[in-house]
Copies of this chain bind each other. A is one copy, B any other.
């Protein structure tokens, strides 16, 4: 088929067989980018408001939805229930969150932000929008839309790939 001298777009040469160029490997690239981006954002609120990433996620959920149970927060944020429990305890201790026992099912409680919690939320939200805007300032509208779409696709796809691995040993 292709001769060994077929023209290439003068770009980079393909790596030799059996070699992986780590800097081009998707999981690695995503990991580095996500770490820098999310640590950069965490720095904006962690020192100023004394809250951790899990606490921020709980605040963000309750700012967005007003009232949720711990279980619902865990499901929506991919946080383990132990992390949610600890974050909720800490936020309550600092007066940013209040619990209201569900009288219809006393195992769970409805969580919501206190006034103090809402004030912090109201301060962080513009920081968040501004941070995302600065990060994507050099992207065209088309690029931004494409990136959102592709991240969503990869996110769905990663679940499928993840689960197909899980079943590798089971289907035999």
Q: Give the distance to chain B from A124, nearest Cβ to Cβ, in Å.
A: 8
A contact patch SS: helix
Decide: B129 and A20 in contact? CB cutoff 8 A: yes
Please, which residues of chain B bring their CB within 8 A of the CB of A101?
none
Please, which residues of chain B bring their CB within 8 A of the CB of A137?
157
Decide: B20 and A64 in contact? CB cutoff 8 A: yes
**Complex: A20 Cα to B125 Cα, angstroms:** 6
**Complex: A89 Cα to B57 Cα, angstroms:** 37
Instruction: Decide if A77 is an interface residue (CB 8 Å cutoff).
Output: yes
Decide: B132 and A27 in contact? CB cutoff 8 A: yes
Chain A residues proximal to chain B, CB less than 8 Å: 18-38, 40-41, 43-44, 57, 60-61, 63-64, 76-78, 122, 124-126, 128-129, 131-132, 134-139, 143, 146-148, 150-151, 153-155, 157-159, 161-162, 164-165
If A27-B128, A27-B135, A43-B165 are given as contacts, then 13 extra A-B residue pairs at C-beta distance below 8 Å, sorted by A number, are A20-B63, A20-B64, A20-B124, A20-B125, A20-B128, A25-B128, A27-B38, A31-B37, A33-B34, A134-B164, A135-B157, A137-B157, A146-B146
